[in-house]
Amino acid sequence: MVGLPNNSFAHLMERDTKTYVLKRLVDEAVPRKLSIDYAAALNSQQLAAVTAGEGPSLVIAGAGSGKTRTLVYRVAYLIDSGIDPSQILLLTFTRKSSQEMLDRAGELIGVRSERVRGGTFHSVANMLLRRYGRSIGLEPGFTILDRGDAEDLIALVRSQLGLNEKDKRFPRKGTIAEMFSKSENTLRPLAEIVVEEFDHFSDHLDALEQLQRGYQASKRQRQLVDYDDLLVLLRRLVMEDEGVRRTISSLYRYILVDEYQDTNRLQADVVRHLASTHHNVMVVGDDAQSIYAFRGATFKNIMEFPALFPGTIIYKLEENYRSTQPILNLANTIIEAATERYSKHLFTRKLDGPLPVLVEAAGENAQSRFIAQKILELREEGVPLSEMAVLFRSSFHSFDLEIELSRHGLSFIKRGGVKFIETAHVKDLLAHMRVVANPLDAVSWHRVLMLVEGVGPKKAQDVMAALVKSDKPYHALREMTGRSGKGLKDLALTLESLAGSGDLRPAEQVNHIYEYYLPILKTQYDDYPKRMRDLDHLQTIAEGYQEVETFLSDLALEPPDGSAAGVEATDRDDERLVLSTIHSAKGLEWQCVFVIWIVDGRFPSVYSFSEDEGLEEERRLFYVSVTRAKRHLYLTYPINVFDRGSGMILSKPSRFLDPVSPGQLDQLVLMEEGGRADWYSRDDH
DNA sequence: CAGAGACGCTTTTTT
DNA sequence: AGCGTCTCTG
């Protein structure tokens, strides 16, 4: 290990890692004098990782162990050591987290950090495919389909293939998209996925395979790329085109990957090939926090990393800086029951703190009222609203709470769930920009045409067929006759004004379309004023962009934070509570965390009962939620909840609490004011 | 053939 | 609540 202050980290390596002698860094890469005092800023484990030499490294970073800090310092250290920042590639889970890390690195090392390349796998794939994708038949102007677009295209292809006969129970487009996606992300044939996870649709396997081929062909033909394609195609590019592989690999000589436990096989392959010429790859993650198996992620990636990269040195970060001992005790107990993981032991120096509280409520509304009341209390005690969060398994779990919070005048922002960008009216407006940007985009054409008065599925198909044949599509549009003639003419005029008048900036395009679209919006939705405000918001976002192409792909790859409902409440004050799905809370922390719906059947959800793997994932998810809390942790569960899916009444707290001893938790039962139990005053909705 | 209204079904998590 | 399907009307 080069550059280490001592050699005492051998004991940190375990499992069957082989040893490998590391060469010293070449002399000119070794800084004569570093500008930062790393040893003073980091603990010894962090320091070891930050100053690691060349070659593959695996950093096992427990929850709250300063993982981000370590990555930030690693970036700074590399730059400090004289490495060209533009040769560093930082792959993260969200672009926001990459931006945050680079900003922090900038504070340490200065503006040089701005040249570091960073982003999500998907956004990096987007960038590389636009630049080098020609060799696998991709034009630089391709359009990115989000999940909803992908489903729409699947539906379109299905009807073209005549597979929508209503005789039998054919899976819905969302389910089909799920199957396809799982197949791509796990590199397994569709048949396997269907038989294993969707056995009740096995009868339709032939049709599904046909549909999958049709969907793939349609995407390629029209220069459309869905989320999975970004990874699949990048993988293909770096695996099949040796020239491109060498080019890209030599472009990024130092690769850092955050949240490695949530990568899938495609991403692991990409990393492996990108690092093929230099092996300078450092991955950071925590196997105990792997929560994305549903999209093909496998914590096995992190377990197998040392085997894939011979000579890997393993670093472990085990000191937790976030939580108090009582919270950590609970977290440790929960995760100890997990079956397969790297052994590590988290410890903290924050010994004192209140015990986590387990709260039983008579029903959902009692739970909501408890949360609202407690939040007000904590705020009185001086905990700022922005230091509190409510976490839940599924987005809809917070519906009742949202109403209750509004009633108490508490403002919040919701993360996860339906995004602003996914609402029908925003997609409608964007579809107009997209047909101009990519006239082959059948999904958007279909959407745009269906909005025209008098156009239905049949007419839309006919128009699209005519457009494909014509080399002047807008001209052809104007020639259309019949009931919908006038509407199509108006559409043609609008689109021409976008395409014709040179390079209109995104914000100007949004304006033009808005004018055309407003009457449609008004006839389609009774609640149009609310939706107009979303479109104003979109306008504001567009103002930040110079190019339509970047605007569109950014929206698809990194939708703005906050759900549809949250948007209207924006920028009143920054003193806001966070409501979040556990998935969206990854990497974040708060003084006080409430986790709601800790009831067996909701968390873990009934869907996960059947498979051990599913249950293990839910356990890790629970672990993630608990370890978000710094000081106060409330776990709440309603009882006497009817679950429609299973037909059961749920009343038992999550099974993940079974191994927790009574001394580790304070237990509360809620009573109505006046002393009576509150079970008859609940849930009027 | 488009569009509106009614009804039954099913509901995780996200780039 | 939202999607898909079915039915009815113009």
The DSSP symbol for A572 reads S
Amino acid letter, residue A647: G
Most confident of A11-20, A568-577, A675-684: A568-577
Of A558, A592, A613, which marks where a domain is finished?
Answer: A558
Give the pLDDT of residue A6.
34
Residue nearest to nucleotide C3 (CA to C1'): A172
In total, chain A counts a number of residues equal to 685
Give the pLDDT of residue A159.
85
**Strand B nucleotides within 7 Å of a protein CB:** 1-3, 10-15
* Model confidence pLDDT, tens digit, residues A503-543: 789 999 999 999 999 988 888 887 788 888 888 888 988 99
State whether residue A347 is helix, strand or coil.
strand
**CA of A165 vs C1' of C7, distance in Å?**
18
Strands A224-226 and A648-650: unpaired
Closest nucleotide to A174 by C1' from CA: C3
H or E segment and range at residue A630: strand A629-638
H or E segment and range at residue A160: helix A147-160
Give CA–CA dist A299/A303, Å, rounded.
Answer: 7
Give CA–CA dist A633/A635, Å, rounded.
Answer: 7
Q: Measure CA of the first residue to CA of the last residue in chain A; give whole Å.
A: 63
Residues A477 and A539 in one domain: yes
Does some domain include residue A548?
yes
Closest nucleotide to A454 by C1' from CA: B2
A276 touches A245 (CB < 8 A): yes
Overall domain count for chain A: 4
Residues A443 and A551 in one domain: yes
Is strand B in 7 Å reach of the CB of A557? Answer: yes
**CA of A232 vs C1' of C5, distance in Å?**
35
Give the pLDDT of residue A17.
53
Tokens of A13: 């390596």
* CATH number of the structural domain spanning residue A350: 3.40.50.300
**Where in the sequence is the domain holding A177, given as residue range(s)?**
143-222
State whether residue A178 is helix, strand or coil.
helix
Residues A14 and A106 in one domain: yes
Once rounded to an integer, what is the mean pLDDT over residues A223-227?
A: 95
Residues A478 and A412 in one domain: no
Residues A270 and A213 in one domain: no
Give the pLDDT of residue A585.
92
The DSSP symbol for A547 reads -
Residues A173 and A268 in one domain: no
Whether A656 has a pLDDT exceeding 50, the answer reads yes
Whether A480 has a pLDDT exceeding 50, the answer reads yes
**CA of A417 vs C1' of C2, distance in Å?**
14
* CATH number of the structural domain spanning residue A505: 1.10.486.10
Which residues of A324-461 form beta strands (DSSP E)? 347-348, 357-361, 388-392, 412-415
Q: Identify the bridge partners of residue A592 per DSSP, sorted by sequence position.
A: A388, A632
**CA of A257 vs C1' of B2, distance in Å?**
52
In this structure, of A320-324, A343-347, A556-560, A568-572, the range with the lowest mean pLDDT score is A568-572
Of A558, A588, A614, which marks where a domain is finished?
Answer: A558
**CA of A202 vs C1' of C6, distance in Å?**
26
Give the pLDDT of residue A421.
85
Of A188, A222, A256, which marks where a domain is finished?
Answer: A222
Give the pLDDT of residue A379.
93
Is strand B in 7 Å reach of the CB of A624? Answer: no
Give the pLDDT of residue A139.
92
Give the pLDDT of residue A567.
42
User: What does pLDDT average to over chain A?
Assistant: 86
Does some domain include residue A675?
no
Does some domain include residue A5?
no
**CA of A566 vs C1' of C8, distance in Å?**
40
Question: Hey, how many other C-beta atoms are within 10 angstroms of the C-beta on A533?
Answer: 13
A244 touches A237 (CB < 8 A): yes
Under the banding of pLDDT at 50, 70 and 90, the label for residue A338 is confident
Helices (H), A389-423: 399-407
Residues A217 and A251 in one domain: no
Residues A442 and A549 in one domain: yes
Give CA–CA dist A18/A48, Å, rounded.
Answer: 19
**Strand C nucleotides within 7 Å of a protein CB:** 3-6
> Angle, to 10 degrees, between the axis of helix A528-543 and the axis of helix A424-437?
40
Does some domain include residue A684?
no
**CA of A455 vs C1' of C8, distance in Å?**
19
The DSSP symbol for A9 reads T
Is strand B in 7 Å reach of the CB of A549? Answer: no
Does some domain include residue A563?
no
CA atoms within 13 A on the CB side of A279: 15
Closest nucleotide to A165 by C1' from CA: C5
Is strand B in 7 Å reach of the CB of A482? Answer: no
Does some domain include residue A347?
yes
Nucleic strand B contacts from chain A, 43-72, CB < 7 Å: none
**CA of A167 vs C1' of C10, distance in Å?**
29
Give CA–CA dist A683/A685, Å, rounded.
Answer: 5
Does some domain include residue A681?
no
Is the peptide bond between A439 and the residue preceding it cis, with omega within 30 degrees of 0?
A: no
In this structure, of A109-123, A149-163, A408-422, the range with the lowest mean pLDDT score is A408-422
Residues A176 and A263 in one domain: no
Under the banding of pLDDT at 50, 70 and 90, the label for residue A411 is confident
Tell how far CA A35 is from the center of its chain.
35
